[in-house]
Structure 1
Amino acid sequence: MSREPLRLLAATSNRGKLVELRSLLSDLPIEVLSLADVLPAAPPVVEDGATFLDNALLKVRAGALRSAMVTLAEDSGIEVDALDGRPGVRSARFAREGATDAENNEALLAALADVADDRRRARFRCVMVLLDPRSEAQPVVTEGRCEGWIGRQPRGAGGFGYDPLFVVEGYGRTMAELGETEKNLVSHRGKAAREMRSSLEALVARR
């Protein structure tokens, strides 16, 4: 008799991130539920941390406390060397609070308008945190990075966020031009999820 899948709350309201997480964990006996599925009336978490880890911990603890479910959260963004690491934790609101992806992309291109091609190095970073509220163990933390640079104009129809501007090192294509399998292999979120895999497998085994 097969067990019921582990019900996992993905503490994100970003549909693109949710789709990626479900794809990355699709071969595990895990049902990935969203905040809309589990906590539709919960207020959004104020992401005022100074680092990706700070924000990921804020989200995972709020999700686990409110739902009493095993919770996975992540915080991620893009760091541009010529901008001293910005947008960083403000990636989703680089242009303004509540900015659209297009507005943030336009703001980033404007900020780099006079920056030469050889100084447009950047990376995507993701910090992922897993918390089981029924365990006394500390949250499990993993991180993934993807190196590349910022192009001069958007390319590709896939992905979300800064994907159309981010040219992946070694590929010569933007993240938005990669297929799902390729993106999951090289992306910061894919790398963080693979690092988290053994902890998720251990949780499944204990259920």
Structure 2
Amino acid sequence: MKLLPGAFGGGPLAGPSWRWRQSGRRARGGFVFLSSDDADDWGHCQGARCGSLYYNIIRKGLDLAPADASGILAVGQFFENSNATISLTGWVGNTTNITFARNASDVLSANLSNYKMLYIPSGYSDTDGGLDISLNNALISIRSRIMDFVNNRGGSLVALMQRGMGTKALGFLPIAMNFTSMEIANVSVTQVQWGFK
């Protein structure tokens, strides 16, 4: 493949990300993972299920987040022993690094820059203890702070299934996302996939 002069901001290695790496400064923009799966619901991807995907997603997000921040701000109902709580604490390994924002005032008063990650569970209609409409509205009201947290601070964002939020699903993101709820049937594990268990 031949790159044309001037492509990517003046040449193949002259783009902004290359200049940031050369200067030793960290490029802007944090780790973002959005899933349309209610992975935190009972029997889905809790613990090491799903090939430890969510355990690894959480780890990667924490590893790539600002070094001077700590822990996870988790926005959801997170009732005791709910699937949302069991899933997140299972993926993280404990609750000591998690601050639970269980109501709108917790969300509105949170200083996102103190945290490595903003975690948003599946909606309450898919996972007990998940995100409810009032918490989703609170997240929407701090959309600009979330954008600053991810884009400028380099914080990580992990958000799961938003069914039940209607037209406000993922409304805390900087651009509108169309969310369509659908079931996938007749899915089976192939021989190759069995090798990854």
TM-score interval for Structure 1 and Structure 2 normalised by the shorter chain = under 0.3
TM-score normalised to structure 2 length:
0.25
Greater share of residues in strand:
1
* Greater Rg by CA: 2
